[in-house]
Every structure is written in structure tokens, then in C-alpha cells.
Amino acid sequence: MTDGDVTKIDAGTDRGLQPDAKPADEAVEAPLSLDEEMAEIKKLLEEDPEDFQAQCRLGEIYFAKGLLDEALANVSKAIEMAEAIRKQMDQSLAMYYANLGTIHATKGNIEDAIAQYRKALETNPRDVLALFNLGRAQFDRDEYMEAMPLFEKLVEVTPDDPLAWFQLAKVYEKLDLRHISDLHTIDSAIMAYRRVLELDPHNLEAAFALMEIYLNLRKPEEAIGVLEAAVENNPEEPLAYYNLISTYEKAKRFTEADQTRERLKQRFASRRAATESKEK
């Protein structure tokens, strides 16, 4: 033992200095007793009940003192806090994996992007960016069966996102094609497109896709209903009128076709006149 050594003192033992110890004013403070430490930790937890380390230590002290019910309550609380922390960390890590995948995709490294999106979903199966981007990547590679569960999960996580429903509708529409799968998913596609229009009535892409499905199913009346709503919600969009006129004619509703054609002329004639007036 050298002159600089200090004798270690256990809690509850004699606190006197050994002969070779430093003077009393330089001695290392003795550790707190369990009761003293418990009192200090309780003060900390009154100020911050979410102090994870303090909760853990208090549970250990209770156990050491034989207070098993109190130890059980505190350790259970610490576990809840640890689970919440882990969930937050997993969400953050998944976000970074998804962001890394987006960078790879932007650089054209699709395989690397897909690998990162999968890592993100292994970490957090509900990561919105990873679900969407991996689903899109697989859709673009004609891997519709692989894309389907991703977009189904996405609409579960974000049920009010019209873009998520639109992507799912496109997948269902593809999977209904005989040369792609033997699934019959056209009704699911219709449901998904209708959900898009519930959430975003101005979405013409969904309206026109639904129109095509109904016409292919030889259901022009359903197509007309979709297009009439599209015109009502997009009165300044000529293509909505043109598609409605065409569908009226396919259904042999020529009077409505002529009336809609006249509405289109009047609307855009008045708009043209207003534009010319402003220019003058």
C-alpha cells in the first residue's frame, strides 16, 4: 500500500481512518446507507417520476431491504419505462433506415434501398415511409404480391391517407389481371378507389381509374355516378366533362350528353370572356 492509498470503507462499518489513510478533511465520503439513498431517490422521483435510472435503483434498494411488494411495483414500473424507451429508439432507428433507403433510391441504388427499407420494417413494422417506399419499389418491379401486404399494412397504419389507399387500389387492380395472378381482387380495387374519393373528392386519377373499371365490367351507370361526382367536385377540369359525355353516350343517354356538352361550352366561354376582359 502506498502513501496515497485510502482504505475502502463499507456502509455500516467503522468509519475510522486506518493509520496510512489521509487526514480526516481529505477522506473520501462514506457511501450512503440504503435508507439514506432511498430517501434521496424518492426526492428525485418526486421531481421527475420518469427518471428511469432512479426507478431501477429504488427497486434494487427495496429488494435488498426485503420489501418485496415495493420492489415488484418499482421494477414493473422500470420495465414499462424501458419498453417505452425501446419503442422510441426502434421508431427512430427505423426512420433512419428508411431515410437511408430513400437516399439509395435517389441515387438509383434500388437493391440497397430495398435492403434498408426492410431493415426499417424489421425494426418497426409500422414505419410509414418504409412501407410506402418498399411497396412502391416492388410495384415498379411488377412484384405485386409482395407489394400488396405492404400497402394493406400502410392503410391500417394511416387509414385516412388517400395516397396509401390509391396505391393499394392499383395493386389490387393489377392482381386481378389473369396473366398476373389467379386472385379476384377487382372488388377490393373498387373499394379502395372509393375510399380515396371519400378522403379526397377532387382526386381525378382515382375517379378515372374507377370509371375504367366499371366500363370494363360493363357497368356504365356506376361509371356515370363516379364521373358526375368528379364534375361536381372539379368544375374547372375539362377532362371530367369529356369523360362524362363519352360515358353518357356509351349508356345511350344522349340527352344528358348534349346537356353536359353545353354546360362545358358555357363554362369555358364565360371563363374565356373573363380572361379577355382582364387582359384589356
Within this chain, do residues 116 and 136 fall inside the same structural domain, yes or no? yes
Rounded to the nearest 5°, which phi and psi values hold at 238?
Answer: -60, -35
Q: How far apart are CA 208 and CA 233, in angstroms?
A: 13
Task: Report the pLDDT value the prediction gives residue 73, as an integer from 0 to 100.
Answer: 87
Q: Is residue 176 part of a domain?
A: no
pLDDT of 9 over the 80 cut: no
Within this chain, do residues 54 and 93 fall inside the same structural domain, yes or no? no
Q: Is residue 193 part of a domain?
A: no
CB-based contacts of 54-58 (< 8 A; 24+ apart in sequence): 55/81
Q: Is residue 101 part of a domain?
A: yes
Q: Is residue 92 part of a domain?
A: yes
Within this chain, do residues 72 and 92 fall inside the same structural domain, yes or no? no
Domain limit, last residue, from 125, 141, 157: 141
Task: Report the pLDDT value the prediction gives residue 159, as an integer from 0 to 100.
Answer: 98
Domain limit, last residue, from 141, 161, 185: 141
Q: How much is the average pLDDT of 2-28?
A: 44
pLDDT by residue (tens digit) across 187-245?
999 999 999 999 999 999 999 999 999 999 999 999 999 999 999 999 999 999 999 99
User: How many domains are there within the chain?
Assistant: 2
Q: Is residue 191 part of a domain?
A: no
Q: How far apart are CA 278 and CA 280, in angstroms?
A: 5
CATH number at residue 99: 1.25.40.10
User: Domain range for residue 92?
Assistant: 88-141
Q: Is residue 73 part of a domain?
A: yes
Q: How many residues does the chain have?
A: 280
**For every residue of the chain, which 3-state class applies, written as one string?**
CCCCCCCCCCCCCCCCCCCCCCCHHHCCCCCCCHHHHHHHHHHHHHHCCCCHHHHHHHHHHHHHCCCHHHHHHHHHHHHHHHHHHHHHHHHHHHHHHHHHHHHHHHCCCHHHHHHHHHHHHHHCCCCHHHHHHHHHHHHHCCCHHHHHHHHHHHHHHCCCCHHHHHHHHHHHHHHCCCCCCCCCCHHHHHHHHHHHHHHCCCCHHHHHHHHHHHHHCCCHHHHHHHHHHHHHHCCCCHHHHHHHHHHHHHCCCHHHHHHHHHHHHHHHHHHHHHHHHHHC
Q: Is residue 137 part of a domain?
A: yes
* pTM, full prediction: 0.73
Q: Is residue 94 part of a domain?
A: yes
pLDDT by residue (tens digit) across 116-131?
999 999 999 999 999 9
